[in-house]
Chains A and B, each alone.
Chain A
Amino acid sequence: MDDWTFRAEQVTKVFGELRANDGITLQVRPGEVYGLLGPNGAGKTTLVKQVIGLLKPSSGSLTLGTYDLVEDPDAARQLCSYLPQAQMPIDSFKPHQVISLTGMIRGGDPVTVRQRSEEMIEALDIGEWRDTMGARLSGGIKRLVGFAMVTVWPGRVVILDEPTNDVDPRRRRLLWEQIRRLGDGGASVFLVTHNVLEAEKSVDRLAIINDGRLIAEGTPSSLKSEDRGRMRLQLMMVPGHATPEMPAFVHHHTRVGNNVMAAISEADSAHAIGWAQELMRLDEAEEYALAATTLEDVYIRMTGHVSEDMGGEVQA
């Protein structure tokens, strides 16, 4: 078989009254790193759990080439590697052991798996903890070990649910390099995240989901096309203060908490700064910032949420 395209068609998952996934259709081609973005509770984990057979869709289909992943969960588990959002059970293992053992469970031969396991330990720079019992590892290192476990012998589809959680910035970059490499090896990487800025740099295509629905899909630059030539004016309002009336040069704006994000044309930058300073003088705003638009702006506009990293940036 040479078609290894992953397809989700009209996937709907209902929990009681809640439509956690609502008619989601998307495709991931071999070699592609596909990001799945959305705020907490959007339904990302629910979608990937159906791919690996931990949940069953209420309706719709999930296929990999000619394999029906819903009908044949045994095949789904062999064809897809899965790093869950939840903890990995590695407390009584040493990293190099558990990476090799999982690789062998995934069908790798012992010699190659051991060799690759050492390579991954080095590539992720976790050699210091190669022989440390899992129970004594920090959350970030555990996450990296988990990543190495599920990718040391990767399946056709590699599902990573929030792989960078708790990982320090330097090793995050190493992790992203390894994620790219999975694509180079021909796997379809299906990557769940709510870190929009990281995803923007590293994914080939992405989907934004909100309230169970896929609301946008494309390459990072195609999603940003509407904001081309625009800047983001970010106003931090005095807590509780009402959103000020928008001047005519603001294309659109979003408020999240005390933050107001306004999209403006580059040509209007000077006007925007003047307006922001006036708001500060009137004690309506505490601070402002003007920056190039990123995927984050698209994301905020579409979901009404700021991503986690952005939230940190705003408070700083």
Chain B
Amino acid sequence: MTAPQAVEATPFTVNAGVGHWLQSYMMMTRWELTSLRMLLPLIVAIQIVIGGGFALGVGLLSDQMPTRAALYLSTGVTVVTLITVGLVMGPQLVANHKTAGTYDFMWSLPVPRTTQAVAWVTVNSVIALPGMVAALLIANWRYDLPLQVTLSIVPAVLLTIVTATMVGYAFAHAIRKPMITQLITTLVIFVILGFAPINFPPENLPDWLATVNLGLPFYHMAVVMRGGLTEGLVTNVGISYLVLGAYTVASVVVAAWVVGRRD
């Protein structure tokens, strides 16, 4: 065999621009999906079980679930599945990178950092969407719901997933100890499930807590998702889009700041 040629050092210029960004984004998505290849079927299956199980399980609370309550519940479950992936699963995967010590290499790749974050959102969506759809189908079958899916489900899902994923991403990257990240995300998810009006209307909460939730993103996530899945269950969807949109922008800005930071 002839010895391979000396490999010429490149580049001659530094790349920037939309083409470079898109190319890098596709490569990073491919990287993340391949990395998860072994776990992906399991993770997706677990998400489906969580979503479906939640939809069925809460139904056990009463024999005869009124349609309105069932509708709240089953649409709420979709939000819960999206949030858990972004705020729990995502940070745990980042924490794995940190524990394995493979973080330095990922952070040294010659791609814009934002492409790594967006690739992350993409992967989280791949994980979350089957669980969300399954939860909806199971709830629909169990409670026979008058669902009316419209196109506005697309921006609703996007805003919800991007916000949850970016908040989780920023957390996971900003906190040095993976253990702490996992404790915090677990705490967050329980607080959200218990004290945010996602699976029930805000009227069920004490006034002050309902007011607090108006300033937090979770209630608004539920509203925009309901807007896309039902007819007439929620009103003032526009305001929720505004509040949630602001949170999305803020979460992206914070995540961009965190990943751009150097010690």
- B112 adjacent to A105 (CB under 8 Å): no
Least CB distance from A138 to B in Å reads 16
Contact with B35, one of A52, A92, A107 (Cβ below 8 angstroms): A92
In the bound assembly, the distance between CA atoms of A72 and B262 in angstroms comes to: 12
Report the tally of A-B residue pairs with Cβ distances under 8 A: 122
Least CB distance from A73 to B in Å reads 7
A173 at the interface (CB under 8 A from B): no
In the bound assembly, the distance between CA atoms of A181 and B35 in angstroms comes to: 31
Least CB distance from A158 to B in Å reads 8
A56 at the interface (CB under 8 A from B): yes
A172 at the interface (CB under 8 A from B): no
**A34-87 residues at the B interface, CB under 8 angstroms:** 49, 52-56, 67, 72-75, 77-79, 82, 84, 86-87
- B8 adjacent to A185 (CB under 8 Å): yes
B31 at the interface (CB under 8 A from A): yes
Chain A residue nearest in CB terms to B108: A82
**B68-119 residues at the A interface, CB under 8 angstroms:** 97, 100-112
Between B34, B37, B104, the greatest number of chain A beta carbons within 10 A of the residue's beta carbon is seen for B104
In the bound assembly, the distance between CA atoms of A97 and B104 in angstroms comes to: 20
Chain A residue nearest in CB terms to B36: A92
Residue interface mask B1-40, A partner, CB < 8 A = 1: 1011011111110111000000010011011001111100
Chain B residues with Cβ below 8 Å from A72 are 14
**Interface-forming stretch among A116-124, A237-245, A292-300?**
A116-124
- B262 adjacent to A182 (CB under 8 Å): no
In the complex with contacts A55-B263, A92-B36, A123-B4, A86-B101 CB distance below 8 A: yes
- B7 adjacent to A79 (CB under 8 Å): no
In the bound assembly, the distance between CA atoms of A158 and B7 in angstroms comes to: 12
Contact with B7, one of A1, A102, A153 (Cβ below 8 angstroms): A153
In the bound assembly, the distance between CA atoms of A187 and B110 in angstroms comes to: 17
Chain A residues with Cβ below 8 Å from B34 are 92-93, 97, 101
Least CB distance from A186 to B in Å reads 4
Contact with B102, one of A74, A77, A82, A86 (Cβ below 8 angstroms): A86
- B9 adjacent to A30 (CB under 8 Å): yes
A89 at the interface (CB under 8 A from B): yes
Least CB distance from B112 to A in Å reads 6
A154 at the interface (CB under 8 A from B): yes
In the bound assembly, the distance between CA atoms of A97 and B30 in angstroms comes to: 11
- B9 adjacent to A54 (CB under 8 Å): no
A254 at the interface (CB under 8 A from B): no
- B9 adjacent to A155 (CB under 8 Å): yes
- B110 adjacent to A116 (CB under 8 Å): no
Chain A residue nearest in CB terms to B37: A92
Chain A residue nearest in CB terms to B24: A105
- A104 adjacent to B27 (CB under 8 Å): yes
- A74 adjacent to B105 (CB under 8 Å): no
In the complex with contacts A151-B7, A155-B9, A89-B108 CB distance below 8 A: no
Chain A residues with Cβ below 8 Å from B9 are 4, 30, 154-156, 158, 182, 185-188
In the complex with contacts A105-B24, A107-B11, A155-B10, A52-B31 CB distance below 8 A: no
Contact with A77, one of B27, B35, B108 (Cβ below 8 angstroms): B108
- Counting from the closest, the 9 A-B pairs by CB-CB distance are A89-B102, A184-B6, A187-B9, A86-B101, A119-B4, A185-B6, A84-B104, A56-B262, A78-B110
What residues of chain A have their CB less than 8 Å away from a CB belonging to chain B? 1, 4, 30, 49, 52-56, 67, 72-75, 77-79, 82, 84, 86-89, 91-93, 97, 101-102, 104-107, 116, 119-120, 122-123, 146, 151-156, 158, 181-182, 184-188
Q: Can you report 10 residue pairs joining A to B where beta carbons are below 8 Å apart? A: A67-B14, A74-B16, A78-B15, A91-B100, A93-B34, A93-B35, A97-B34, A101-B31, A182-B9, A187-B9
Given A92-B37, A116-B4, A185-B7, 16 extra CB contacts under 8 A: A4-B9, A54-B262, A74-B14, A77-B109, A86-B102, A88-B105, A93-B35, A104-B27, A105-B111, A107-B110, A119-B4, A122-B4, A156-B9, A181-B4, A184-B6, A186-B8
What residues of chain B have their CB less than 8 Å away from a CB belonging to chain A? 1, 3-4, 6-12, 14-16, 24, 27-28, 30-31, 34-38, 97, 100-112, 262-263
